[in-house]
Amino acid sequence: MGAVTQVLRWAAGAHDIPEDQDFDDRVLLDLIGQHALSGRLARRLPTGPAWLRDRLGGPAAAMHADTLALAETHIRAVDRIVAALGEQQPPPVLIKGIATGLLTGDKHLLRCGDIDLVCADGGPLIETLTRLGYERTRPPFLHELGEFTREGVEIDVHAYLPVPGYGAVRHTDLTPPEHATTWYQPRRAPSMHPIRHGRLVDGGTVTVGRVSVPDPCLLAIVLCAHAFLNFTNMWSLSHRAKPYVKLAELADLHALVRHEAFDTKRFLALVAELDAGDAVNWAGWASTVLLGRNPLPVPVGTGPFPRCLWWDFWALLPVDEEALLLPGWFDLATVNPLLPSRIELDTGRPAPPWTVEVRRDGNLVTVMVGLPEATDAATERGRVDFGGCGTEWVLSDGQLTAVGGHDTCDLLSGRRVRLRYRVPRTGGEMLVGVAEQDTSGALLSAVLLPATWQAADPVDAR
């Protein structure tokens, strides 16, 4: 166990007292922020080693004070939104973020990121946000109706919260063929059960001012679902400098199970009704591995826990406990050797004649994706993944959009998508994906290509 992650785990509730003092305080404090542990660390430091109090006491107290101030800002923002929404509309339910702290009344458990609101009807809520001066800063995506920002406060409006499960993926053989150059993966969709506004209020919400949060049983499932979604990499389509597992979400589970209103019988019934078994069993495993104990009244999951490389491409990847807690993406140097030279989704529709070429000139890598002259797909999209950075691009109605760490992304004549990156001179591994989607967003065909960039020579990955 590394010195940094030992302190992180201890701050989140693990019993092992940190002993290794060889860490950079700035690196650790940044990770304390990313894991949303400032309050827990500030509360636990008085019982910890003197050397740790001396080094982190002041910064941890300052971080926690900032969190409390931001939490008050969030409470006021939601209070104002609910008041402006009026009595004719059911108030939205706040999930994640400050929810556990409000539900338990423990200020040390308050943590702040975006404000996630699940609404009964998105139209009136979005109209209210616009009237209050919030501007749309992210378009709708799946269950998210959009992100709206005002004076640094970000509101994520959700039509529902998805509870992911492996679904048919758990019955899929994820062992690549030994000698084939193409691995045809059958399309096996994961399950995705929605928790809508009505379900969130069924068990009775707890209201602080005008802020409504779910009861502890439902909130625990919400946190399990969100943490499992991030771990499996479903829908994580852009590179975010965040850990795969946020320790505060696991630590919150311990607090919620101890809540006086937590009902084991109700919790287990909800797990069954919401098809949350995979998420909850995984959370029990993650809590055991990272914090030393499973707080949930379910058996610890035993795995394996497949993870998503991109959209419907799944693989059994090695799990590094340390890496789960640090910012970063998959280590492609360990992923690519597990894969054949090409993975194609077996949808029954042959992949179009896409071409992919990778060229390197010094520390500039150019990825050129050639698309067919015509397509009946509603959307064409692609992925370039270097492990530490990458891009998700979308071509629809002749318009190219892209998010990620590229220098440039251009649509050239002949329907070619060109992406350029600044990369280390030493070379490395990468994944390039191309896919077609219909109007509903379902994949019509998709290919994922492991590649290596080493020199200025072209790499034909098709």
Q: Which domains does the chain have, with CATH numbers?
A: 3-167+190-305 (no CATH), 332-460 (2.60.40)
Question: Residue 462's pLDDT band (boundaries 50, 70, 90)?
Answer: very low
Please say whether the beta carbons of 182 and 193 come within 8 A.
no
Percentage of the chain exceeding pLDDT 70? 96
**241 against 432, higher pLDDT:** 432
Question: Residue 336's pLDDT band (boundaries 50, 70, 90)?
Answer: confident
355: burial class by Cβ within 10 Å (0-12, 13-18, 19+)?
Answer: middle
For the chain, give the mean pLDDT: 90
Residue 237 has pLDDT above 70, yes or no: no
Q: What is the β-pairing status of strands 191-196 and 160-165?
A: antiparallel
Q: What average pLDDT score do residues 439-457 get?
A: 80
Question: Residue 236's pLDDT band (boundaries 50, 70, 90)?
Answer: low
pLDDT of residue 126: 95
Q: What average pLDDT score do residues 38-43 get?
A: 96
Residue 66 has pLDDT above 90, yes or no: yes
pLDDT, one tens digit per residue, over 361-402 is 888 899 999 999 989 999 999 999 888 788 999 999 999 999
pLDDT of residue 441: 83
Residue 460 has pLDDT above 60, yes or no: no
Question: Residue 67's pLDDT band (boundaries 50, 70, 90)?
Answer: very high
Dist CA 136 CA 117 (whole Å): 15
pLDDT of residue 110: 94
Long-range contacts formed by 22-29: CB under 8 A, 24+ apart: 25/55, 25/56, 25/59, 28/4, 28/56, 29/56, 29/59, 29/60, 29/63
pLDDT of residue 426: 61
pLDDT of residue 92: 95
Distances (CA, A) of 188 to 313, 445, 454: 9, 13, 34
Q: What average pLDDT score do residues 230-258 get?
A: 85
Q: What average pLDDT score do residues 215-243 get?
A: 85
| Nearest in space to 342 (alpha carbons), one of 418, 236, 432, 419 | 432
pLDDT of residue 457: 46
Question: Residue 456's pLDDT band (boundaries 50, 70, 90)?
Answer: very low
Q: What is the β-pairing status of strands 364-370 and 355-361?
A: antiparallel
pLDDT, one tens digit per residue, over 252-293 is 999 999 999 999 999 999 999 999 999 999 999 999 999 999
pLDDT of residue 451: 83
pLDDT of residue 256: 97
The two tokens of residue 156 are 């994520």
pLDDT, one tens digit per residue, over 172-197 is 778 888 878 889 988 888 899 999 99
**454 against 414, higher pLDDT:** 414
pTM: predicted TM-score of the whole model, two decimal places: 0.91
Q: Which phi and psi (to 5°) does residue 95 adopt?
A: -120, 155
Dist CA 438 CA 76 (whole Å): 42
CB-based contacts of 328, cutoff 8 Å, min separation 6: 241, 387, 388
